[in-house]
Structure 1
Amino acid sequence: MASDTTHPAPTRRLAVWDPWVRLVHWAIVLLIPFSYWTATTSRFDWHFRSGYAILTLVLFRILWGLVGSDTARFHRFLRSPAEALRHLSHLRRRVAAVEIGHNAAGGWMVLLLLALLLTQAGSGLFADDAIFTRGPLARRVGEYWSDIATRIHLRAFWVIVACAVLHVLAVAAYRVLRGQNLVRPMVTGVLELPAAEAVATPRMGSPVLAGLLLAASAGFVWWISTLAPLSAF
């Protein structure tokens, strides 16, 4: 009797995430808990360094979202809120169209997290705990605005944590409900899809331009850090 052997459908590998997007993503994943740990253990020198690193990465990611790779550009993945809600309503569909880059809902989560991280790092520049530590710009805005920045800095962190948890749950839901692994492409930069799927290869951004933008972001943040007063008192 002839054997009935089922062969897996042929696939092809498509580069979807450049190293710069992945660098920002995974570095921030590590820096957020590190910032919390340094704050709760009074290692404020390292807390400031971590905050400066986050601000550098967020500024770079915003610039890269304007001129970088196709999948990194905001105008490529930001769609209407209605389309994002419609996408979520179809989440339980096991068979879904191949999505290159961020989907309609994920794009808004990226924008929200960048805005929150920018608020968190930016408010830290003006924060003052009135004991030992103050941001480099705290004395340049006065006590009233510095107090507001301090409150924002303390509260925004937990909003970021809540959004991060929601993001992780969404990734898990895609894995369970749709059978889509969203983590592997963000690690490897490569998406495996059916060979017959007619999908255009995303254009990757210039590594030279990315390096220049990252250096410019780091230089700007370093300059801000030098504006701290010589004495904290």
Structure 2
Amino acid sequence: MKKIIRVWDLPIRLFHWLLVLCIVGSFISVNLGGNAIQWHAYFGYSILTLLIFRIIWGFVGSTHARFLSFLPTPKALLNYLSGKSLHVLGHNPLGALSVFALLFALSVQVTTGLFVDDEIAFQGPLAKYVSSTAVSLLSQIHEANQFVIYSLITIHIAAIIYYRKFKGEDLIKPMINGDKEIDPSEEAKYSPADLGRASKDGGLQRGLALLLLSVIAVVVGYFITQ
């Protein structure tokens, strides 16, 4: 009988899929152009809210949501690439590197987006506070950084397919139901400490996440409308 361990709490799962929806919506709306650019901005503000939540949740959230639980060190990364490391319930070192890279790239994108001014249909809420030179520079970074994000997303999807096809590991299902199923014959490949670190995912945890997200949304909404 397989051992079932809660790895991803509900707040992390909702963050992940809402982020996916917002990125897709952002991509579609910016390519439609015209009045859809306002929707691009709305998706951007939503991504900003989600990212702030994820960063804070990375310090106060459940076990495997915390950055310290999967912070990739050079030694851990080398051991993983050489096949010397044990399996992990959460992000492996290479996956963790990908997560941090994507969070950073998205943070750059939403931050620079606040200063964009196309002088036609959209002006970022912070564009009026900086010089035209700064607006131009930040707009260029915003334009170029999208290709970094597309590349990272492509790598992310390719990794999911690779793990499914060549390692027999489904990375999507745990991000839907939150649980990882460990076959008894596979338990020896994990450290006992890791197998004993299930993530908390109760009502208190979810309530705290909802409160935190609500406060962040209100604060972000306040500043972008000033």
Query: Gapped runs of 5+ residues in structure 2?
Result: none
Counterpart position of 1:99: 88
Match of 1:113 in 2: 102
**Alignment of structure 1 residues 24-103 onto 2, 5 Å:** 24-42=15-33, 43-90=36-83, 97-103=86-92
Deviation readout 1:6-48 (Å, 9 max, x if unpaired): xxxx212111101111111111112112112111212022111
* Paired letter, 2:128: R
1:202-213 to structure 2, matched below 5 A, reads 202-204=198-200, 206-213=205-212
Stretches of structure 1 that go unaligned for 5 or more consecutive residues are 1-9, 228-233
Output the aligned Cα RMSD.
Answer: 1.8
The question of 1:159 aligning with 2:148 is answered yes
Residues of 2 paired with 1:145 and 1:152: CA distance?
11
TM-score, normalised to structure 2, is: 0.88
Question: Residue 81 of structure 2 aligns to a residue in which SS?
Answer: helix
Q: Which has the higher helix share?
A: 2
Moved over 4 A (4+): none
Matched length: 214
Q: Percent identity over the alignment?
A: 37
Q: 1:85 to 1:165 in 2, by over 3 A?
A: farther
Label 1:201 to 1:152 Cα distance change in 2 as closer, same or farther (>3 A): same
Which secondary structure state, in structure 1, belongs to the residue aligned with residue 91 of structure 2? Answer: coil
Give the structure-1-normalised TM-score.
0.86
Q: Which has the larger radius of gyration?
A: 1
- Superimposed CA distance per residue, residues 73-129 of structure 1 (whole angstroms, 9 cap, x where no aligned partner): 000111213422431343xx9xx8442111111111111111111111111001111
- Give the distance between the partners of 2:109 and 2:40, measured in 1 at CA: 13
Cα distance in 2 for partners of 1:40, 1:74 equals 34
